[in-house]
Structure 1
């Protein structure tokens, strides 16, 4: 459905993205799912089309478009790809957002520009074995200063693109006395001999995203590898989390929309008792419920997107959008499987993949329960808004 946030230019852009992904992505989904990763060449293809670095500065190869334009691409990516493909690309884009906002000039010229061109693949390593995913900013990896260098030791878990990336944006404690306020963000060369893969992870869904656990064993980096200021990683991640939550909500919307479309099409083809099943009232109501929940999620997410695009704080709205979308997509995908009946349970039918991918949306990047806790705290503190000018640069 149409929404006032999208201009005619956004609508035209959406059509071009749909046409491209239908031709260049959809035919390879099953192949990349089986391979457990997407080829590096696909990043280069997306870059040539201008789909990577949509909102990044022009001087580094980006298009400097608004966040709404980037959101259009992300929503369609969720619809035409898989959870895994969407996750791999979105983690690359989230790394770009951090570098665009907080990176040094040298980091932007060297790493950001090459990531926008598709020459380099980027990712984030934020979660850890002992800490879990309570918050993106949690970390126990240590970075000890050694002259003009830092030595990093520790582990990161569930690193999407961890085995195929060229560089990793990783959080590490640089001042233990300050706790999490003593956390810094580093750019680490993935090819360093001291960054090793502990294990490759097999997942229920998101299978096209290569996911690994990493060990950092005396990884030496110069002080120039620090993104922004030392001990400011938590601040940077807090400022970026709102956009990251909207990204995940958009991907959920894309998967849900595809689930509904496939279900409507199947209901017009599948016959029972001499007529197609779309004539059965109970299934009509089920599909209507799917559409209503999807539209609710769109409006919550687009509201958060609008605020961020205007440079306003959207802490409550982005948390609501991510929490609701993560639950919504599970419900919609489950209904899609149910309406497909026995065929929905077969691996040859795409809806089973939507269902598997949907299950991770309410877990990764903050569980629904954690987000509800955050929303509750926001409600207790009242309507006061923080300065969110940073969002214009993401």
Structure 2
């Protein structure tokens, strides 16, 4: 069983975000072409694909929420539970979300995350899950760079805490689900208010562990934070990436019973389907292996073993998005992808532009950097006998020097 199977992620998106400036609530504002909430949900889903996602929204934001959901990949959308409605305070909103999760099916672990933190990465989420299992209640924290002063009502310093013992706390905060649900119920019954979920756990007598956070996982609160986020999302220029790599990918899938094949994330009607442990998207598998090959990171099987049942029937966009993320984590970018589909049928030409658009969206590329071709083998070989489809791909990747 996957470590993520019994994990739920609760994303709190019910606030108004007034300090971020005029306009929509900050979680629904556009950030480099996608809403903040959509970016946060995609990040959490990429980090824990088997986890269930529940979002707490303001009752007035149903249309805004639906618009953000429409931006998600199919696999992220499939992981979503029905949204829970928030309350007057964040504490009430979280409790409503926890109760909604409990009504569906109680998980072992729950991660509670702010919608306005779109940069949580898989390593941080993995640390959160492990810390909750080990300690019951845990929060990510980052060291403080500045000296901190405690002052009195008149503005005079009364103490200088040792900053080595202080941490700025982030989300996702992680808990064993029964523990934090009981703590929230106890806080509500007592009419007590707290500023975060860790304090609620502490008030219930739980020891809270602090594990390493991530400075990149900052919260969007002010207009300056949005400017910083845009800089963090800005791709590096090609001129700044002198290390040019190329990787090749090749994949084959046999035909099986069915009525469509998946190519590049597009469902194409056909007399057969393709057989495979995942959705058998032969084109996306070849491209994924090409990207992984360009950065010498093995192949799909090394990252998503077919022996792991969680990947049975999985959408192949999970694999490709992961490979592209590995490139970005190394400070690089994908410059170009060129792929060829080899089959007698179905005809790829009528679907070429839809396939290019699908791949460009998944990879975060301009469509002009995605080339798709198709050919036959003139009735020769297994593809000529209409026994299956093959795909070949080349990916050009540019990385920083060294």
TM-score (structure 1 length as normaliser): 0.26
Larger Rg: 2
Structure with a larger share of its residues in helix: 1
Greater length-normalized contact order (CA 8 Å, ≥ 6 residues apart): 1
Q: Using structure 2 for the length normalisation, give the TM-score.
A: 0.25
